[in-house]
Amino acid sequence: MCGIIGYTGEESALPLLLGGLERLEYRGYDSAGVALIEGKKLIVEKRVGKIRELVRSLWGKPYSGKTGIGHTRWATHGAPSLKNAHPHTDSRNEFAVVHNGIIENFLEIREELKREGIRFRSETDTEVIAHLIARSYRGDLLSAVLETVERLKGAFAFAVITVHEPGRIVGVKQGSPLVVGIGEGENFLASDIPAILPYTRKVITLSDGEVVDITPEGVNIYDFYGNPITKEIMIVPWDIVSAERGGFKHFMLKEIHEQPKAVGDTVRGLISSGEILPFSLKDFRRVILIACGTSYHACLVGKFWMEKLVGVPVEVVYASEFRYADIPVSDKDLVIGVSQSGETIDTKFAMNMAKEKGATTVALVNVVGSSIDREADHSVYTHAGPEIGVAATKTFTAQLAALYYLSLRENPDRETLIGDLMQVPSLIETVLEKAEEVERIAEKFLKKKNFLYLGRYLNYPIALEGALKLKEISYIHAEGYPAGEMKHGPIALIDENMPVVVIAPQDRVYEKTLSNIEEVRTRKGTVVSVGFEGDERLRKLSSDLMEIPHVPEDITPFLTVVPLQLLAYFIASKLGLDVDQPRNLAKTVTVE
């Protein structure tokens, strides 16, 4: 998954492109590059590594071109290297392309072009786009692009400029995200909104099958057949401050502390939107929740709530598994795709597959206008605002809020349950006030090489989520496991070197979980627990207790996850790791 940006207007394009790329860096950072129209020449500058390598190398260069495109890469085809870095150009260096996605039929196109004498400079799929456009060009960039997209298969968002038409950028959206920023005498193109927020809040979100033709004077949108399309301009409510770090050391820490607001805004958004779905969950024989990563863990919690509060059977399936299993899906099923980005390709394809099988589909997303949002039959939105840290935090608790609301909306105790939900933001605040205690615990364990996270019932998905948070930002191996399953194998791992984190609020499985803690202790395991304030029984069994307020059982997941987010954050931060952009990861996984 990569980030692309484009600018054409009256200003020098380079600083705007670099600023935008810095805000896109969480989408991938193996290499970065820009292409500029400098007079009659096409200038391409690219570097391996993070954006700052590119910025440093361009410092003081006399580029003043007013049209350009930029790219930050997360390698899919071809290793991270200079030759594979974008932008890619045609053989005569007259066209430059930046691309996010995968051209699935690029090999056949590559062979065809090679037979015509084209010599490729990279291993990427993207390079074929530049050569196809150059081959089709007969004086009009838009026509050449329309001819080119007829040949492409897969998921792609790309932008192209040419020396023949300074001031013009053409962009294409199919499967990967692309938005247009509308300025005064200038216009922008980007993979997502934070990249262009400092310059404009007027945004058009492109849909699959659309092409945008941009000049400083205007923006025109067409379908792949060249038919003009009218699109609505959205005024983005976010301001750039909310997308910046706001005084925190990392975006992730800021976003952990934004959770009261993310949950509160989500609940208010759901309540104020009236009837969020035109049907009852009970109208279906089954609900299937589909997601990846942290969103999958939110679904595991949602399953317990839906089955308890609605009484409908719920299945939770990894999107990447759903697509290849023979799960019998029909019009009797409701399929809910949960995705903060709304662009995760596995979730997107799984949802489309469910729809083709006749299911009613609902997108539960944080980004309005995202692919999964637009392609589902119905949508429910979280209102967490932009999440920049690769590790999902506030979007997770916002997803919990939406899933809980979906579960309670038809329950006879709806008003009481909404009352409980409305308390969650202040309860999270209470947990956040104990962050220093968690930081102290992190200090004790940051040298450990393996962690086990245990929980039963509602606490099991939180154990999975706590383990994922730790491993994805600290690179320490951590495994989440059902506490009741430990005696079926993992207990063999327990020794004094393996900290065991146990989530044990006083709920229906509390006593059984205490027994599991005893099992760990008798094998010299060290227990770090998450439990209710003042729980002396738990404290006596634990080397450290991270406390949450006493709340009804169903509300515990909103709170038990917070100390685990903080624990992972402090360990990774104290290890001096790149918390917001962990190695090998990207914020949105738009590759399969």
- Residue ranges binding ligand AGP (CB under 6 A): 292-295, 339-341, 344, 347, 390-392, 472, 588-589
* Distance in Å, CB of 37 to ligand AGP, minimum: 35
Single-letter amino acid code for the residue at 376: A
Residues 219/182, Cβ–Cβ less than 8 Å:
yes
Please identify, using beta-carbon distances, which residue of 360 and 588 lies nearer to ligand AGP.
Answer: 588
* Beta strand pairing call for 154-162 and 95-103: antiparallel
* Distance in Å, CB of 202 to ligand AGP, minimum: 25
Alpha-carbon distance of 187 to 5, in angstroms, equals 11
Please identify, using beta-carbon distances, which residue of 342 and 425 lies nearer to ligand AGP.
Answer: 342
Single-letter amino acid code for the residue at 482: P
* Distance in Å, CB of 162 to ligand AGP, minimum: 34
Alpha-carbon distance of 196 to 7, in angstroms, equals 10
Question: How many other C-beta atoms are found inside a 10 Å radius of the C-beta of residue 577?
Answer: 16
Q: At what angle do helices 127-136 and 141-149 cross, to 10 degrees?
A: 120
* Distance in Å, CB of 474 to ligand AGP, minimum: 13
Residues 417/443, Cβ–Cβ less than 8 Å:
no
Please identify, using beta-carbon distances, which residue of 200 and 370 lies nearer to ligand AGP.
Answer: 370
Residues 403/397, Cβ–Cβ less than 8 Å:
no
* Beta strand pairing call for 31-38 and 179-182: unpaired
Q: Which residues pair with 434 in a beta bridge?
A: none
* SS3 of residue 318 by DSSP: strand
Alpha-carbon distance of 29 to 32, in angstroms, equals 7
* Distance in Å, CB of 591 to ligand AGP, minimum: 11
Residues 506/537, Cβ–Cβ less than 8 Å:
no
Please identify, using beta-carbon distances, which residue of 466 and 505 lies nearer to ligand AGP.
Answer: 466
Please identify, using beta-carbon distances, which residue of 122 and 588 lies nearer to ligand AGP.
Answer: 588
Please identify, using beta-carbon distances, which residue of 89 and 340 lies nearer to ligand AGP.
Answer: 340
273 DSSP assignment: T
Tokens of 559: 């709170």
Alpha-carbon distance of 112 to 90, in angstroms, equals 15
Among the options 2, 46, 50, 394, which is catalytic? 2
* Distance in Å, CB of 107 to ligand AGP, minimum: 27
Integer CA distances (angstroms), 156 to 93, 327, 456, in order: 22, 29, 42
Question: How many other C-beta atoms are found inside a 10 Å radius of the C-beta of residue 373?
Answer: 22
Question: How many other C-beta atoms are found inside a 10 Å radius of the C-beta of residue 24?
Answer: 27
Please identify, using beta-carbon distances, which residue of 27 and 99 lies nearer to ligand AGP.
Answer: 27
Beta-strand ranges (E) seen in 378-516 are: 378-381, 450-455, 477-482, 499-503
Among the options 66, 348, 471, 587, which is catalytic? 587
Q: Which of 439, 440, 472, 466 is nearest to 453 (CA)?
A: 466
DSSP 204-271: EE--TTEEEEE-SS-EEEEETTS-EE--PPEE----HHHHS-TT-SSHHHHHHHTHHHHHHHHHHHHH
* SS3 of residue 503 by DSSP: strand
Alpha-carbon distance of 337 to 375, in angstroms, equals 11
Please identify, using beta-carbon distances, which residue of 89 and 399 lies nearer to ligand AGP.
Answer: 399
122 DSSP assignment: -
Shortest Cβ contact with ligand AGP: which residue?
293
Please identify, using beta-carbon distances, which residue of 28 and 183 lies nearer to ligand AGP.
Answer: 28
Residue 299 designated active-site: no
* Distance in Å, CB of 103 to ligand AGP, minimum: 22
Residue 587 designated active-site: yes
* Distance in Å, CB of 592 to ligand AGP, minimum: 12
* Distance in Å, CB of 249 to ligand AGP, minimum: 18
Residues 523/495, Cβ–Cβ less than 8 Å:
yes
Please identify, using beta-carbon distances, which residue of 186 and 343 lies nearer to ligand AGP.
Answer: 343
* SS3 of residue 439 by DSSP: helix
Residues 75/15, Cβ–Cβ less than 8 Å:
no
* Distance in Å, CB of 527 to ligand AGP, minimum: 25
Q: Which of 512, 507, 452 is nearest to 477 (CA)?
A: 452
Alpha-carbon distance of 290 to 299, in angstroms, equals 8
Q: What amino acid positions are annotated as catalytic residues?
A: 2, 587
